C-alpha cells in the first residue's frame, strides 16, 4: 500500500495578520498573555500546572466576586460552558425558564431541549431591560427548576441588571444561571451578593486570554442540586463532580486530583496571566476604564448622528456597542472596508440585530481612548466610502 502525498498547503510558512480585534470577541491578548502562551507545554497533573489552576480559581473568585468553592474553568469555548451550566444543574424533564432577549437565550433553549429539558420562555423586547416585577411574574407562572439570563446579551448589546433576580428565583425554588461572557471584568458583577447560582464568562473577551478555557462558578445551592441528581450529567466531559475534583474544589472531600482530561497547559498559562493582569489593575479600575471608554465612544457616535439599537444609555453594554446602520449602508461592505483599510474588525448584527447594526467591541486591552479614535475613523470613512460607492453606481 502506498502513502498518499503530504498536503502541499502545509509546506507554506504560517502567516497571520496582526488584526485589531474590535468586534464582539475574541479581543486581542495582551503581550504578557502572548508571552505566557509561548512557554513549553507541561503535563495536566504536573505540580506546576496544578498550582496555576489554583491561582486561576483564586482569580476567578475575585472576578466573579464569589466564595464558591466550585469555581473552575472548562476546557472548551463559552458555548460549552452554557451547555455545562444547564446540563449540570438540570436533568431530563425538568423545567428551564429562558429569558429570550436575543441570540443567547435561543442558544440556551436549543441546548437544553437537546438534553431533554423542558423549556419555557420569558419573552422580552430585544434591546430593552426587563423589569423585576415582570420577571417575578414569569417565574411564578412557570415554576422552573432554573432560570437562564444573559447579563451581557451581546447580540443586542444590552446589559441586563441582575441584582434582585437571585432573590426572586430562590423565593420560587429556582436556581439562577447567568451568562456574563461579554461583561465580566467590565460591568460590575457580584455573584454572591446577587444570589447567582451558576455563572460563566468568556476568557477571550474582557479577560483577554484565548478562547478555549472558560471560567465557571457554582453556588453551594447549585452544588447541592448537582449532588442530588438521579441521573449522571449527559456529558462526561462537562460533569462538574469530575471537573471539580480535578480542579481540587471539594476541600476535605476532594480526594486526590483524578485524571479527567488533558487540560491545555498553554491555555492555563494564558488565563492565569490574564487574571493576574485583572488583579493588578483591580476590578473597580477595570470597570471604570471600560465605562470611560464607552462614554467617550458613545458621545462621539451621538455627536456624529449615529443611533443605538439599545435606546436607554444606562442599559448599553460597556464592552460591545450595537450601532444602527445609516441609511444606504450595508454591513458587509462597511466591515470589509474597515478590515481592508484599517485592519480593524467590525462585526455585523446577530439574531435580532442581524442586518440592522454593526457591532464594535472595545474590551480588555482594546478598551483605550486610542482604540476609540481608531474605530471611529474606520467607521466614519467606511460609511462615507459605502455611500459614495452606492451613489456612483446608481
Ligand atoms: C459573540 O459572542 C457575539 O456576540 O458575536
Would 118 be classed as within a structural domain? Answer: yes
Residues 244 and 203 occupy one common structural domain: yes
* Predicted local confidence at residue 160, as pLDDT: 98
Residues 101 and 213 occupy one common structural domain: yes
Would 111 be classed as within a structural domain? Answer: yes
Residues 161 and 256 occupy one common structural domain: yes
Q: Ligand 1 centroid vs 28 CA: distance in angstroms? A: 15
Would 380 be classed as within a structural domain? Answer: yes
Interface confidence, given as ipTM, is 0.90
DSSP assignment, residue 344?
B
Would 2 be classed as within a structural domain? Answer: no
Residue 311 has pLDDT above 90, yes or no: yes
Q: Give the residue numbers spanning the domain of 269.
A: 31-279
pLDDT digits (tens, 9 = 90+) for 72-114: 999 999 999 999 999 999 999 999 999 999 999 999 999 999 9
pLDDT digits (tens, 9 = 90+) for 196-209: 999 999 999 999 99
Question: Given the C-alpha cell 407562572, which residue does it identify?
Answer: 141
pLDDT digits (tens, 9 = 90+) for 271-289: 999 999 999 999 999 999 9
Residue nearest to atom 4 of ligand 1 (CA): 154
Residue 375 has pLDDT above 80, yes or no: yes
Residues 199 and 290 occupy one common structural domain: no
Q: Choose one of 235, 257, 279: the last residue of a domain.
A: 279
The number of residues in the chain equals 394
Residues 274 and 288 occupy one common structural domain: no
Q: Choose one of 279, 295, 328: the last residue of a domain.
A: 279
Question: Given the C-alpha cell 464607552, which residue does it identify?
Answer: 294
Residues 84 and 209 occupy one common structural domain: yes
Which CATH number does the domain housing residue 95 bear?
3.40.640.10
Residues 232 and 311 occupy one common structural domain: no
Q: Ligand 1 centroid vs 157 CA: distance in angstroms? A: 9
Does the annotation flag 245 for ligand binding? Answer: no
Please state the atom number of ligand 1 nearest to the C-alpha of residue 155: 4
Segment 346-365 mean pLDDT: 97
Indicate the Cα dihedral angle 15, 21, 26, 27, nearest 10°.
110
Total number of domains constituting the chain: 2
Residue 392 has pLDDT above 90, yes or no: no
Residues 245 and 355 occupy one common structural domain: no
Of residues 176, 173, 181, the one with CA closest to residue 192:
176
Residue 390 has pLDDT above 80, yes or no: no
Residues 252 and 306 occupy one common structural domain: no
Residues 254 and 238 occupy one common structural domain: yes
Q: Ligand 1 centroid vs 350 CA: distance in angstroms? A: 8
Cα(81)–Cα(73) distance, integer angstroms = 9
Residues 269 and 326 occupy one common structural domain: no
Amino acid at each position: 500500500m502506498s502513502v498518499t502525498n503530504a498536503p502541499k498547503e502545509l509546506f507554506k510558512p504560517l502567516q497571520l495578520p496582526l488584526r485589531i480585534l474590535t468586534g464582539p470577541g475574541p479581543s486581542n491578548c495582551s503581550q504578557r498573555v502572548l508571552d505566557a502562551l509561548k512557554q513549553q507545554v507541561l503535563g495536566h497533573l504536573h505540580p506546576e500546572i496544578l498550582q496555576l489552576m489554583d491561582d486561576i480559581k483564586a482569580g476567578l473568585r475575585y472576578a466573579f466576586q464569589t466564595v464558591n468553592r466550585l469555581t473552575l474553568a472548562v476546557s472548551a469555548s463559552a458555548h460549552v460552558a452554557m451547555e455545562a451550566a444547564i446540563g449540570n444543574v438540570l436533568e431530563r424533564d425538568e423545567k428551564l425558564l429562558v429569558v429570550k432577549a436575543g441570540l443567547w437565550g435561543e442558544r440556551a433553549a436549543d441546548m437544553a431541549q437537546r438534553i431533554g429539558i423542558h423549556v419555557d420562555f420569558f419573552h422580552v423586547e430585544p434591546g430593552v431591560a426587563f423589569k423585576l416585577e415582570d420577571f417575578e411574574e414569569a417565574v411564578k407562572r412557570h415554576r422552573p427548576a432554573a432560570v437562564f439570563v444573559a447579563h451581557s446579551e451581546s447580540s443586542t448589546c444590552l446589559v441586563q441588571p441582575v441584582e434582585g433576580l437571585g432573590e426572586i428565583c430562590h423565593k420560587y425554588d429556582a436556581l439562577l444561571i447567568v451568562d456574563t461572557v461579554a461583561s465580566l471584568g467590565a460591568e460590575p458583577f457580584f455573584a454572591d451578593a446577587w444570589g447567582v447560582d451558576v455563572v460563566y464568562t468568556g476568557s477571550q473577551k474582557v479577560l483577554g486570554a484565548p478562547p478555549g478555557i472558560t471560567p465557571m462558578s457554582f453556588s453551594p445551592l447549585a452544588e447541592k442540586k448537582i449532588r442530588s441528581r438521579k441521573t449522571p450529567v449527559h456529558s462526561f466531559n462537562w460533569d462538574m463532580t469530575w471537573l471539580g475534583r480535578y480542579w481540587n474544589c471539594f476541600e476535605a472531600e476532594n480526594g486526590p486530583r483524578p485524571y479527567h482530561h488533558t487540560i491545555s497547559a498553554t491555555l492555563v498559562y494564558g488565563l492565569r496571566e490574564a487574571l493576574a493582569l485583572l488583579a493588578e489593575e483591580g476590578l473597580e479600575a477595570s470597570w471604570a476604564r471600560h465605562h470611560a471608554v464607552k462614554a467617550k465612544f458613545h458621545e462621539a457616535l451621538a455627536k456624529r448622528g449615529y443611533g443605538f439599537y439599545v435606546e436607554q444609555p444606562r442599559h448599553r453594554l460597556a464592552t460591545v456597542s450595537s450601532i444602527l446602520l445609516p441609511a444606504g449602508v450595508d454591513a458587509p461592505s462597511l466591515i470589509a472596508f474597515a478590515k481592508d483599510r484599517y485592519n480593524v474588525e467590525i462585526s455585523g448584527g446577530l439574531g435580532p440585530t442581524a442586518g440592522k447594526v454593526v457591532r464594535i467591541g472595545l474590551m480588555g486591552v482594546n478598551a483605550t481612548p486610542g482604540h476609540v479614535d481608531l474605530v471611529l475613523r474606520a467607521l466614519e470613512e467606511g460609511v462615507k466610502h459605502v455611500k459614495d460607492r452606492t451613489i456612483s453606481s446608481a
